[in-house]
Structures are given as structure tokens and as C-alpha cells.
Amino acid sequence: MSDRVATELPYSLAKAGEKEKLHKCLCDLGLFQRLIKSEEGKFELIKFWQMLGDFNQVDDVYIKQLEAYKGDKMDDKFLNLTKSLGEFFIELGLLDGARGMVLEWLLQSLEQKYCLSHVTIVYSPTNFSWKRRCSHQAVIDLLELLGRVCTKQGDLVLASKYYKEMLARLNRIKSVTEKLQLCKCLLGLATVFYMQGNMKESKKLLLRALEQATEILGPGHHYVAAIINKLGQLCFQQGRLDEALGYFLQDLKLTRNEVGSNHPRIASILNDIALVYDEKGQQDADKFYECGLALLLGIYGTGHVDVALMRGFAIFLIYLKSVCRFVHLSIYLSIYLYLSIYLSIYLSVMAIYLSIYLSIYLSISVCLSIYLSIYVSLFLSICL
């Protein structure tokens, strides 16, 4: 299949509304391999699957195609195809399929293939011994990918294990590729520490990764922007909101320059900025949430896990604000009732005091009148 056919055939079928033929066309691994090579082709592939419904069927379909593959499964072409499928599953949020059915099998296959040609000696702290491990570039990349998937799934223990294994195998760093792999490892390990609440160690690794990535890739690379974003998240967690906002805006600028405005990473950054504005109590938070959600809906549709998370968070935010309004109203009503009761009690007490004063006044008046009448009577009797 040529690149032209891979680009035009699914588009024509989608335009014609031939969903069955489009499904059959997308199941072809050759078409997948040609489209996945470019960022534009990958997003076209996502949109075609989106037209056929949600993404839950994608991993089953492609895994069946892998199992039915009749060629040499240790061939570089097949192994690269398998890795591309794993990365595509991660992109769609199909983490279980990516990890269990693709990446773990691929790691075993790659270690088996390169175990003799690319060997390094690593120290095992569990049993205080030295062991032979495969140090091929593809194996190192796969360890990082598995660490990333485990982090997204919340399996931080296994994620840390993959990243530390990766770090142990990178013990002879010479090339630019190996330096970049070290940056990815440091970033992944920093993310694990961040999620475990170890902010000090996380920041230390992030700053080291940022320095290394800037030296290798330059200050405008998207990977440098990703590290800056992690520093922003760290500052946000520590309550340094202005510093976090500065990092997120810097990340937004660098990422837009690299991939444009219509990219899932932009939606993620907008969500981060919205979190800062929301924490500061500013009204702009809603606009950033809406922009990020609209962007993800336009790219993935409603069936993607990131869309569901952002939509759920937006609904929760609306609910929280309505609850806050209700709480504020309840507080105001309580204060009003308290003041009303206090005022009524005060008026009642004042009325009692007034009645007592009036009673005393009347009593004194009566006594005075009696006294005056007696005095006048005595005076008249004396005069007469």
C-alpha cells in the first residue's frame, strides 16, 4: 500500500459513509504503519476511529491483527510496528491494552534479541550482586514507556522500578541519544516522586533534567516545555501560584510554537492554567476549562479518558460553585436570623425595663399625690 492510498482511501470511505469498509480498511496494519509515521496521519487515524464509535474496540482489533501476523515476529519491522501500536494505545488512553498485551511482550522480545550484542553490567541492591542486562536503545526506550504507562495507571511502585532499571542501564552515557534518554528517565522518576509527595527530591531531578534537556535540545524544544510544566505543577502543589502560572504560560508559548494550537498538549496546559486561576478565585478559570475541553472534544470526541476526566472535573467545579453559593446564602440567612432574634430579644428586654420604669414612676406619682393631699389637708386644718 502506497502513502497516497493510505491517505486517500479512508478519507473517501469516511466521506461516502461506508463505515464497514472504513473499519476493514483501518484494521490493515500496513495502512496503520504508513499513517502513524506523521503527526497529521496519526490525528487522521484518531478521527476515523472516532467516526466508528468509541475507542474501546481499537486495542482488541489491532492485537488480533498482531496475533495473526504470519511473518517473522522478531523482525525489526514487526517490532517497530508493535511499539507504534503501544504508543497509539497510550495516546487513546487504552493503558491496559498498551501495557499488558503489547509493551511487556515487546520488552521480553527485544531483550531476547539484543541480550548478547548489547550488554552492560548493573548492580542489584536487592541481593548485593552484579548482573548482566541488555542496554540496547530500543530496550531503554521501552522501559521509559512502561514507566510512563504505570505512572498514568497509578502503579507508582512498578513505575519507579522501571525508571530505576532504566537509570541503572544508562551507566555509559556517550551519545546525544543516551543523554536524552537520561533526561526522560529523570523526568519520569521526578513525576513518581511528585505523586508520592516527595517534592524536594522531585524538584531536584526536574532541575537536573531541565539543564540537561536545554543543553541537548535547546530552550525552545517541546521536551524542555514538558519539564517546565512539571515544575509548574510542583509549584502549584506547594501553593506558589504566581510562580506556577509563570511556568505554565512559558510551557504554553513553547508548545504552541512547536505543535500549533490544535494539539492535546495545549488542552492539558489550559487545564493547568485554569487550576491556578481557580485556586486564586479568579473568574477566568471557567474560560480556560471550556477551551481545554472543547479542544479535546474536537480531537478525540467523547470516548477518550482525558475528555471524561476534564468533563468530570468541570462538572464537579460547577457543582462545587453552586454548593458554595448555597453555603454563602445559608450563612447570610443564618446571620440575618441571628440578628433578628437578637433584636427581638433586645426589644423585649427594653420593653420590660420600660414597663418597670413606668410602674416605678406611677408608684412615685401616687405616693407624691397622697403626700401632697395630706400636707394640704393639714395646712388647711391649721389655718382654720
Q: Is the pLDDT of residue 327 over 50?
A: no
- Please report, as a single letter, which amino acid is at residue 61: V
**Domain for residue 245, yes or no?**
yes
Residues 88 and 129 in one domain: yes
Q: Is 381 exposed, middle or buried (0-12, 13-18, 19+ CB in 10 A)?
A: exposed
The position carrying cell 472516532 is 50
Residues 92 and 168 in one domain: yes
Residues 74 and 168 in one domain: yes
**Domain for residue 321, yes or no?**
no
**Domain for residue 140, yes or no?**
yes
Report the distance separating Cα 268 and Cα 271, nearest Å: 5
The position carrying cell 530500543 is 138
- E-assigned strand segments in 60-138: 119-124, 129-134
Cα-Cα-Cα-Cα torsion 335, 341, 344, 350, nearest 10 degrees, comes to -90
Q: What is the CATH number of the domain that holds 211?
A: 1.25.40
**Domain for residue 79, yes or no?**
yes
pLDDT confidence band for 304 (50 / 70 / 90)? low
pLDDT digits (tens, 9 = 90+) for 266-300: 888 888 888 888 888 887 787 888 888 788 777 66
Residues 160 and 198 in one domain: no
**Domain for residue 63, yes or no?**
no
Q: How many CB atoms lie within 10 A of CB 195?
A: 15
How many domains does the chain fold into?
Answer: 3
pLDDT confidence band for 320 (50 / 70 / 90)? very low
Q: Is the pLDDT of residue 134 over 80?
A: yes
Report the distance separating Cα 8 and Cα 42, nearest Å: 14
Residues 12 and 76 in one domain: no
Question: What residue numbers bound the domain in which 158 lies?
Answer: 70-172
**Domain for residue 12, yes or no?**
yes
Residues 18 and 102 in one domain: no
- What's the rounded mean pLDDT across residues 133-146? 92
pLDDT value of position 149:
94
Q: Is the pLDDT of residue 197 over 60?
A: yes
Residues 150 and 205 in one domain: no
pLDDT digits (tens, 9 = 90+) for 2-15: 778 888 888 898 88
pLDDT digits (tens, 9 = 90+) for 144-160: 999 999 999 999 999 99
Residues 78 and 155 in one domain: yes
The secondary structure of 268-324, three-state, reads HHHHHHHHHHHHCCCCCHHHHHHHHHHHHHHHHCCCCHHHHHHHHHHHHHHHHHHHH
- pLDDT > 90: percent of the chain: 23
Per-residue cell: 298: 474536537
Residues 107 and 159 in one domain: yes
CA distances from 121 to 95, 160, 164, 190, 360 (A): 31, 20, 14, 25, 106
**Domain for residue 32, yes or no?**
yes
Residues 140 and 230 in one domain: no
Q: Which of 224, 257, 290 is the last residue of a domain?
A: 257
Report the distance separating Cα 114 and Cα 136, nearest Å: 7
What sign does the CA torsion over 194, 200, 202, 203 have?
Answer: positive
DSSP 240: -
What sign does the CA torsion over 143, 148, 151, 155 have?
Answer: negative
Report the distance separating Cα 184 and Cα 188, nearest Å: 6
pLDDT confidence band for 339 (50 / 70 / 90)? low
**Domain for residue 382, yes or no?**
no
Evaluate if pTM is beyond 0.75: no
Residues 167 and 222 in one domain: no
Mean pLDDT score across all residues of the chain = 82
pLDDT value of position 316:
46
Residues 164 and 208 in one domain: no
- Among 96, 178, 174, which Cα is nearest to 138's? 178
